[in-house]
């Protein structure tokens, strides 16, 4: 078992390693991008990657504090569901209005990889292989559909 600061350091080391690995990859628009902290340019809409002791997830998270507006964003993503799944080459899980351990409600569209542990460096290649093609595909998807969200800004 790792101490809290050791665990945080190991997580930071993974994300630094991943960031260095993917840094040469340009965005769909041919620009340099911070893949680990991807900016959609849309407030309350994030592309997030996370990993822990048992699984890893990559997600589109919608965190608008107004549940009705959050649902509008979610419905807009549903309009692009076929494009998203075609770009990703797989289907993702769709969850409207889920609450986290702090009671904050969000909606998300995500993919999960089970049986990986960010604290086990032997799992890092599997984590990188999971995250890299999906974050690049999300960027391709977003490049095609982001203007469809202009009315929700």
Predicted TM-score of the model (pTM): 0.92
pLDDT, average across residues 64-76: 95
Residue 2 is predicted with a pLDDT of: 64
What pLDDT, on the 0 to 100 scale, is given for residue 92?
98
Residue 41 Ramachandran class (φ > 0 left, ψ -120 to 50 alpha, else beta): left
Instruction: Give the mean pLDDT of 54-79.
Output: 96
The band of 1, judged by pLDDT with boundaries at 50, 70 and 90, is: low
């Amino acid at each position: 078992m790792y101490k809290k600061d050791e665990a945080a350091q190991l997580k930071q080391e993974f994300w630094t390693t991943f960031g260095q690995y993917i840094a040469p990859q340009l965005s769909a628009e041919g620009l340099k991008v911070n893949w680990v902290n991807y900016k959609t340019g849309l407030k309350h809409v994030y592309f997030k990657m996370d990993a822990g002791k048992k699984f890893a997830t990559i997600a589109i998270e919608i965190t608008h504090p107004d549940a009705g507006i959050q649902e509008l964003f979610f419905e807009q993503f549903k309009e692009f569901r076929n494009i998203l799944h075609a770009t990703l080459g797989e289907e993702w899980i769709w969850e409207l209005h889920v609450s986290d351990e702090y009671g904050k409600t969000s909606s998300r569209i995500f993919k999960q990889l089970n049986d990986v542990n960010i604290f086990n460096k032997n799992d890092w290649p599997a984590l990188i292989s999971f995250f890299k093609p999906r974050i690049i595909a999300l960027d391709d998807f977003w490049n095609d559909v982001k203007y469809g969200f202009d009315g929700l800004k």
